[in-house]
A and B are shown apart, each in its own frame.
Chain A
Amino acid sequence: MAARRALKAVLVDLNGTLHIEDAAVPGAQEALKRLRATSVVVKFVTNTTKESKQDLMERLKKLEFDISEDEIFTSLTAARNLVEQKQVRPMLLVDDRALPDFKGIQTSDPNAVVIGLAPEHFHYQILNQAFRLLLDGAPLIAIHKARYYKRKDGLALGPGPFVTALEFATDTKATVVGKPAQTFFLEALRGTGCEPEEAVMIGDDCRDDVGGAQNVGMRGILVKTGKYRAADEEKINPAPYLTCESFPHAVDHILQHLL
């Protein structure tokens, strides 16, 4: 194997990795402190369609994680960046709680569609409006394409099916900005001054966290918490750089072997 460059940055997934819903993964706060005592840059990356950075911060504070807002990079941030880069005025099909992350973005007379998970907006009239914009050539930006998610009352449709519907209707492809999109990981590293080969990603989703990160040249560490199911590590090729019990174990490995 080719010699790897020294580690400069660690990307950490949130839900399922640092905490599970409203409970911290045991030992995670203390492990984060140990990681911060080194010279690496730490960033927190997550696919969210309805929680703004502020919401995430509040939860992390409650769980006593020492994290600042500018260290968080979410799929909503990625969507916002793309909107700014393309200089478009999006129709925002996102949950109202996500709107703070788009503050200051011009949305009148839209010429783009940003779609997240917004059950209350996914009715026929609104989707028709989005459809007509797309037919006129507006780009479709998808926060992510999850098929479904688990709700207290059972499985519920995610944004993916509705993205697929609009893609089919207009014969176009959405730009997906969330994990596992390559640009997501590259954007998360932007400003850290380090290359993918100098970064590691820690997460509980084998395909979206580990596979996605490894596809851009990062090392991926899979933790067996959150949504992890037995044998998940066999789902991707090449396999995860490392699979371990939980976030504190991942930090131990980094401190012992990668610095």
Chain B
Amino acid sequence: MAAWGELLAGVRGVLLDISGVLYDGGEGGGEPIAGSVEAVARLKRSPLKVRFCTNESQKSRGDLVGLLRRLGFDISEGEVTAPAPATCLILKERGLRPHLLVHDGVRSEFDQIDTSNPNCVVIADAGESFSYHNMNKAFQVLMELENPVLLSLGKGRYYKETSGLLLDVGPYMKALEYACGIEAEVVGKPSPEFFKSALQEMGVEAHQAVMIGDDIVGDVGGAQRCGMRALQVRTGKYRPSDEHHPEVKADGYVDNLAEAVDLLLQHTDK
């Protein structure tokens, strides 16, 4: 196996993906992944800086943090970088009024945004709301616009809930791209701006940070392109074929967050 001491030398900050690393969502909110509650606590007691970097777009940041705290995690809203708040900043900056194709659970994040007479579409993990009817409405809004703008909160292919793998926003974003002949702007991982803002909020340079996630492309590939190191956990949506991905190779593979934290505490500077 890799020489972990060398691999993790100089790490000062850790970015943690949430779904599939801390917990698996599902009925009744979901359940923590074995060892992850303690792993986060140990990390926070260490000198390493910690920040959570999620593409969760079905729940508001407040609801997500509330759920994680109920599951036993030590986490607060201010420690989480999430795509919905980042999207609101972009909408305000560019004077965009979105048609929202989102889950009801995240709608409150857009309370302060003008959604009348839309001049763009915002798509997020809408879950059950991804009906033909709702997709068609978003499509029709885009086709009416002279310069169609599609903002997508992440572009993940799928994620894992306790009931099994579920389609994420990415496939639906691709559907609208194909239908309208346009390209979406992704807010969230793997977009470099998103990782950079998380790093900035953590106060750590890319070369001193490591990303830990279950998504070989969105987490690992995205972080590496920003100059970070990245570990993939064998939990959540992880599939064995990820370790032979044609384009992305993680700096290391670990069984779960607990193992990653063991290694970090063992091998980074005290």
Contacts and interface: CB of A to CB of B under 8 A. Distances in A.
Question: Are the chains A and B members of one assembly?
Answer: yes
B165 A157 contact: no
B174 A124 contact: no
A168 B140 contact: no
Contacts of B139: 148, 155-157, 161
B127 A161 contact: no
B136 A169 contact: no
A45 B164 CA distance: 41
Contacts of A122: 131-132, 135
A165 B181 contact: no
Interface string B166-195: 111011101111111100000000000000
Interface in A85-112: none
A170 B130 CA distance: 18
A168 B164 contact: no
Contacts of A135: 165
B181 A147 contact: yes
A127 interface: yes
A191 interface: no
Given A160-B179, A168-B157, A131 B128 contact: no
A144 to B, nearest CB: 13
Interface in B139-178: 139-140, 143, 157-158, 164-168, 170-172, 174-178
Contact of B136 (A120, A147, A157): A157
Contact of B167 (A131, A158, A164): A131
Given A164-B174, A169-B170, A131 B158 contact: yes
B156 to A, nearest CB: 9
Given A131-B165, A164-B175, A169-B167, A123 B136 contact: no
Contacts of A158: 179
Interface in B195-209: none
A125 B131 CA distance: 9
A241 to B, nearest CB: 29
A164 B128 contact: no
A161 B175 contact: yes
Nearest to B239: A135
A14 to B, nearest CB: 25
Contacts of B168: 169
Interface string A152-178: 001111101110111111110000000
A26 interface: no
Contacts of A148: 139, 143, 179
A128 B167 contact: yes
Contacts of A125: 128
B167 A157 contact: no
A27 B131 CA distance: 44
Contacts of B181: 147
Interface string B104-133: 000000000000000000000001111111
A158 B143 CA distance: 14
Top 6 A-B residue pairs of the complex, sorted by shortest distance between their CB atoms: A161-B175, A165-B171, A119-B132, A122-B132, A169-B171, A165-B175
Interface of B: 127-133, 135-136, 139-140, 143, 157-158, 164-168, 170-172, 174-181
8 contacts: A119-B136, A122-B131, A147-B178, A161-B174, A161-B176, A165-B171, A167-B174, A169-B171
